[in-house]
Amino acid sequence: MWRNKNVWILLTGEFIAGLGLWLGIIGNLEFMQEKIPSDFFKSLLLAAGLLAGIAVGPLAGRLTDQYSKKAVMLISGFVRVVSVVFMLIAIETGSIWWMLVFLVLLQVSAAFYFPALQAAIPLVVNEKDLLQLNGVHMNVSTLSRIIGTAAAGILLVAIPLNAVYLLSMAAYLVLFVLTWFLQFEEKQKTNAVTGGPKQGFKDVFPIIVKLPIVMMTLILTLIPLIFLGGFNLVVINISELQESSAIKGWIYTAEGLAFMSGAFLIKRISHKFSPYKILFSSSMLIGLSQLMLYFADQPVLTIIAFLMFGFSVGCFFPTAATIFQTRVPKDYHGRFFSFRNMMDRVFFQIVLLITGFLLDAVGLQKMSVIFGILAISMTAAFFIRSRNLRAITDQEQRIS
């Protein structure tokens, strides 16, 4: 796998683009903090971009299946580069409306790029290397997040805001150029994809229903999102509860390093345990880590909870991605990953709102117990369901 130049192009591109993304995200927060005093209006502005990405999701999935995945990645990469121009105009004019244009274009670009990327990964390496590549790819993304946020904090003090966005644009340009050098074979599209009655986005749903492990994995991915949706709000509340600004840095560092450890070790873990066991064990640990935040006033137990969570999602997400890439037919990959992207975004927004409400209504510690019990209950219910499905399947195979 490591001799495959496509792998190095994808990983290098992910790292550089991730740096650009996080430079832009921290820049967005700085600009909004200066121009928009209301937190509610800040959330509305950010939500507008996310909604634009959700709206084009069906089109993104259909086009990814219909046309070359490399072409979709190139066009969306070009749009991402152009979007930064509007943010530079926003800084120059001090107008939040230009920033809105920037956010919409950025999210629309992401809505096309990421399903195409997920659909391209199985075409780049052999199936036996998919789990390892998914783990490494997520580690590179996490590393770029850690370095990007740290670099942005330093750069905002040293250089003007528009210079930070120019660096972000440069990173996107590098990704665009690297994408040109990707080389992988895509089989000729059939009529079911390029035309005829089966070209619609909704055609992916019967495929999901016919594959119980895909359906179950898709629903199980909501469990880590219960934690991730309000992650930043939770960290802020822990900092206030412990009256410590330093704990925020320790939490992000612990979670990031634990995630990378899980994603690095998942290849070895997968040889000893089935994907089912990895998913259910990780989901259970996620629920337990949420329950542990009942003791969020204790720094040591807080760090242990985030170490547990980071390691669990580091094992969970590469395993889930590999299941999707290997079990869903490749002709439907674009539409499937676009649907999953839309589902994650919608659920993320819902969890964010619920987290904010519960933090005000019952407080962090009681909310953590509610979310922890919900995660563990969902995991137990689907574990029982999966055992019944496998028992029925084994019985049918013995009869036949």
Query: What is the per-residue pLDDT across 14-30, written as a single tens digit (0 to 9) for each?
Result: 788 878 877 887 777 67
Architecture label for domain 201-400: Up-down Bundle (1.20)
Cα 171 to the chain's mean position, in Å? 20
Crossing angle of helices 333-361 and 39-55, rounded to 10°:
160
- DSSP H helices, the chain, are 5-35, 39-55, 57-66, 69-93, 96-124, 130-158, 161-180, 191-194, 204-210, 212-220, 222-228, 231-242, 246-272, 275-292, 299-327, 333-361, 364-399
Domain with CATH 1.20.1250.20 in the chain: 1-179, 201-400
CB–CB of 118/64 below 8 Å? no
Flag whether pLDDT at 328 surpasses 80: yes
Taken as a whole, the chain contains a residue count of: 400
Contact 80, 174 (CB under 8 A): no
Q: Is the pLDDT of residue 397 over 50?
A: no
Task: Say which residue, 397 or 363, is predicted with more confidence.
Answer: 363
Query: Quick one: which of 364, 112, 371 has its CA closest to 247?
Result: 364
Cα 168 from Cα 24, distance rounded (Å): 6
pLDDT digits (tens, 9 = 90+) for 228-268: 877 777 887 888 888 876 787 788 778 888 988 888 888 78
What pLDDT digit, counting tens, does each position of 52-63 carry? Answer: 877 887 788 788
Tell whether the model's pLDDT for residue 187 goes beyond 70. no
CATH superfamily of 1-179: MFS general substrate transporter like domains (1.20.1250.20)
pLDDT at 352 over 60: yes
∠ at Cα 127 (123, 131), nearest 5°?
105
CA distance 292 to 6: 42
Would you state the pLDDT for residue 366? 93
* Region of poorest pLDDT, from 52-66, 113-127, 143-157, 326-340: 143-157
How many Å is the maximal CA-CA distance in the chain? 73
- Predicted model pTM: 0.70
**Residue 301 pLDDT:** 94
Q: Which two tokens stand for residue 282?
A: 């990780």
